[in-house]
């Protein structure tokens, strides 16, 4: 009979880089052997006796699904031909079978599902449960899909419990310290419960547990479980101003308090979070499970709801942004990257490495509010046909920003460079910022300084002080121009939506030939402070109308009747133009093309 088991928890956990998680419970990483000692009440005859060991995970374990494995000591093949994730064990030197002491080296394969396991053994028809333990992904094993070659990166992206999340705006990046706390007490239990509560587990528990062999699958499940938009999620989002029944997202400075509250309340969603909270919590879970993970902030981040790779913003004649558009450009948006292989996309490893996974509930993916994993390589190359959710993330860093004047449905301006700036993460081994923009975008479409002409800040904005700016208009013509200048200042959410009109100015200005016109803009603190209590950003926009260069229709327009219009062309040079010709065409307005000399 088996009378005593030594799991060597201290030694095993240290060698598996899990001693920070626990020194009492056995926690091992797949693809790496661990030791246990079994003491029998009688000698063990290697020639005649056989110790049969079984490991199982989940409520319906199966060899064919890789959630059950049978192996013998001495080593004999006990598994079926169709078995997946085959474990093995061997006697270590130093064993003393003749006295009944067996020192066993147990090896979980690098593709076994992560989770909570039970190990049992039978000898001469006597069966005994030897241990309950947990198996995690293994970034130290070259056979594991999450293998990360550099030790300093493993220490940062798996073992580091503290980090930085960047917020603010493209020109004013603000670091926020975040306590990931992935090795706090009970985190294994919390994270495993999270996996068990996901929708796919409800639908097919056996297949779900089996699929936990893949970090691709697990990261996608975690992405859906962090937010509460689908039942059972950890954090409830709130982008409004009313946080009754919970706390504002800015209250949180770490993940463990959130995860512990969710677990202790029997899985009631914690109120409230926004993108950096979702990302911080997900990073903690990923690191605990063994998937290398880092938090990434994208500034001027597009939210493209209709998948046309343009963000449409609508303005009225005063320059104020309308509220109707579902598209928006967030001052910043935060997601995580997980490190893993992607053999589902290519066999040559082209898409291996960092993958975007976003737990903030924005759009549904395969019916759930989750996003990713989306290969950063695929995003950079614009390969939007690849899974998962590459088109959505590609738009977040590459979409064109198109501005429309509502009253006449006219496109004012199209900006191809604003979206996707200063993509940032904490540096490895230090609290410096690492810029990742060039990993998401090619240089010609990447981090580009906007043309500074047309705007200028007189003094750096400070809360509690007046904001002073100046708008510069330049003339390259030989005539004086008269303009109507409509300036609108609005308080904005970080999600790019207006929350209040702070100030509106309407003036008439003259721009002299070949000169610059400076239009001062002053926003007094006494005017803006009440709007900025719930906002950190103000948007200043201007609609400039040339009062002397309006195209005129000289008569009423009626269907099937000729229409006369007047179009004025301004000669941009000092010389008189002679012997000129002009061609006119208009679909549905003119028959053919007319040429006038």
Pairing of strands 162-168, 34-40: unpaired
The single residue of 16, 144, 191, 275 carrying the catalytic annotation is 275
Residue tagged active-site, from 144, 352, 358, 389: 358
The SS3 call for residue 144 is coil
Range 191-196, long-range pairs (CB < 8 A, 24+ positions): 191/259, 191/285, 191/288, 191/289, 192/115, 192/116, 192/134, 193/263, 193/267, 194/222, 194/225, 194/234, 194/285, 195/115, 195/221, 195/222, 195/225
Count the alpha carbons within 13 Å of 218 in the hemisphere toward its beta carbon.
33
Which one from 16, 201, 303, 333 is the annotated catalytic residue? 333
CA distance 564 to 562: 7
Which segments within 419-480 are labelled E, that is strand? 421-426, 433-435, 456-457, 467-474
CB 204 within 8 A of CB 197: no
Q: How far apart are CA 89 and CA 108, in angstroms?
A: 9
Classify residue 422 by burial, with Cβ atoms within 10 Å: 0-12, 13-18, 19+: buried
**Catalytic residue check, 293:** no
Phi, psi of 584 (to 5 degrees): -125, 135
Q: What angle do CA 339, 178, 379 make, to 5 degrees?
A: 35
191 catalytic per annotation: no
Residue 18 near residue 77, CB atoms below 8 Å: no
Q: Is 275 a catalytic residue?
A: yes
* SS3 label, residue 395: helix
Can you say whether residue 19 is alpha, beta or left, with left for phi > 0 and alpha for psi between -120 and 50 degrees? alpha
Alpha helices in 197-340 (DSSP H): 199-203, 205-211, 215-226, 256-264, 275-289
Residue 163 CA to residue 146 CA, distance in Å, equals 21
Rg (CA), the chain: 32
The answer to whether residues 222 and 230 touch, using CB atoms and an 8 Å cutoff, is no
Q: Which long-range contacts (CB under 8 A, 24 or more apart) does 117-121 make?
A: 117/55, 117/56, 117/57, 118/55, 118/56, 118/57, 119/53, 119/54, 119/55, 120/53, 120/54, 121/2, 121/38, 121/51, 121/52, 121/53, 121/54
Sheet holding 310-315, edge to edge: 310-315, 400-405, 410-415
- Which residues are tagged catalytic? 275, 333, 358
């Amino acid at each position: 009979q088996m009378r005593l088991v030594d799991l060597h928890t201290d030694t095993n956990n240290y060698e598996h880089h899990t001693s920070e998680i626990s020194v009492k419970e056995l926690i091992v990483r797949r693809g790496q052997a661990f030791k246990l000692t079994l003491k029998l009440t009688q000698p063990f005859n290697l020639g005649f006796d056989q110790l049969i060991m079984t490991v199982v995970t989940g409520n319906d374990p199966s060899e064919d699904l890789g959630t059950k494995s049978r192996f013998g000591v001495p080593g004999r093949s006990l598994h079926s031909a169709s078995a997946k994730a085959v474990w093995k064990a061997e006697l270590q030197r130093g064993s003393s079978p003749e006295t009944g002491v067996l020192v066993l080296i147990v090896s979980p394969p690098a593709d076994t599902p992560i989770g909570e396991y039970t190990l049992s053994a039978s000898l001469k028809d006597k069966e005994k449960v030897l241990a309950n333990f947990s198996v995690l992904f293994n970034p130290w094993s070259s056979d594991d899909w999450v293998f990360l070659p550099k030790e300093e990166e493993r220490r940062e992206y798996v073992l580091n419990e503290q980090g930085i999340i960047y917020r603010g705006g493209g020109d004013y990046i603000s670091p926020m310290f975040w306590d990931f706390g992935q090795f706090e007490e009970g985190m294994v239990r919390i994270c495993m419960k999270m996996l068990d509560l996901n929708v796919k587990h409800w639908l097919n528990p056996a297949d779900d547990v089996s699929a936990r062999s893949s970090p691709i699958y697990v990261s996608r499940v975690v992405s859906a479980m962090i937010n509460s938009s689908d039942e059972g999620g950890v954090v409830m989002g709130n982008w409004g101003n009313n946080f009754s029944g919970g706390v504002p997202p800015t209250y949180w400075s770490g993940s463990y308090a959130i995860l512990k509250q969710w677990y202790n309340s029997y899985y009631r969603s914690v109120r409230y979070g926004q993108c950096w909270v979702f990302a911080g919590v997900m990073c903690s879970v990923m690191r605990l499970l063994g998937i290398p993970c880092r938090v990434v902030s994208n500034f001027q981040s597009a939210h493209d709801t209709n998948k046309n790779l343009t963000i449409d913003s609508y303005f009225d004649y005063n320059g104020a942004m309308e509220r109707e558009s579902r598209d928006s450009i967030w001052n910043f948006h935060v997601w995580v990257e997980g490190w893993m292989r992607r053999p589902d996309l290519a066999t040559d490893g082209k898409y291996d490495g960092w993958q975007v996974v976003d737990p903030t509930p924005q759009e549904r993916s395969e019916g759930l509010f989750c996003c990713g994993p989306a290969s950063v390589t695929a995003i950079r190359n614009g390969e939007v046909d690849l899974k998962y959710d590459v088109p959505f993330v590609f738009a977040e860093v590459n979409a064109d920003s198109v501005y429309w004047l509502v009253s006449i449905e006219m496109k004012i301006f199209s900006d191809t460079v604003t979206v996707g700036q200063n993509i940032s993460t904490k540096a490895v081994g230090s609290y410096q910022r690492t810029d990742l923009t060039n990993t998401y975008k090619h240089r010609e479409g990447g981090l580009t300084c906007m043309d500074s002409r047309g705007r200028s800040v007189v003094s750096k904005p400070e809360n509690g002080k007046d904001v002073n700016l100046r708008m510069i208009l330049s003339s390259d013509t030989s005539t004086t121009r008269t303009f109507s200048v409509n300036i609108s200042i609005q308080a904005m959410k970080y999600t790019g939506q207006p929350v209040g009109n702070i100030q509106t100015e309407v003036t008439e200005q003259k721009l002299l030939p070949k000169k610059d016109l400076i239009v001062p803009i002053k926003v007094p603190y006494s005017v803006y402070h009440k709007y900025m209590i719930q906002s950190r950003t103000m948007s200043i926009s201007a609609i400039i109308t040339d009062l002397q260069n309006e195209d005129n229709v000289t008569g009423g327009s009626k269907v099937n009747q000729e229409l006369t219009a007047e179009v004025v062309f301004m000669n941009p040079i000092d010389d008189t133009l002679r012997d000129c010709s002009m061609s006119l065409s208009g679909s549905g307005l003119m028959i053919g093309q007319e040429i006038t000399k």
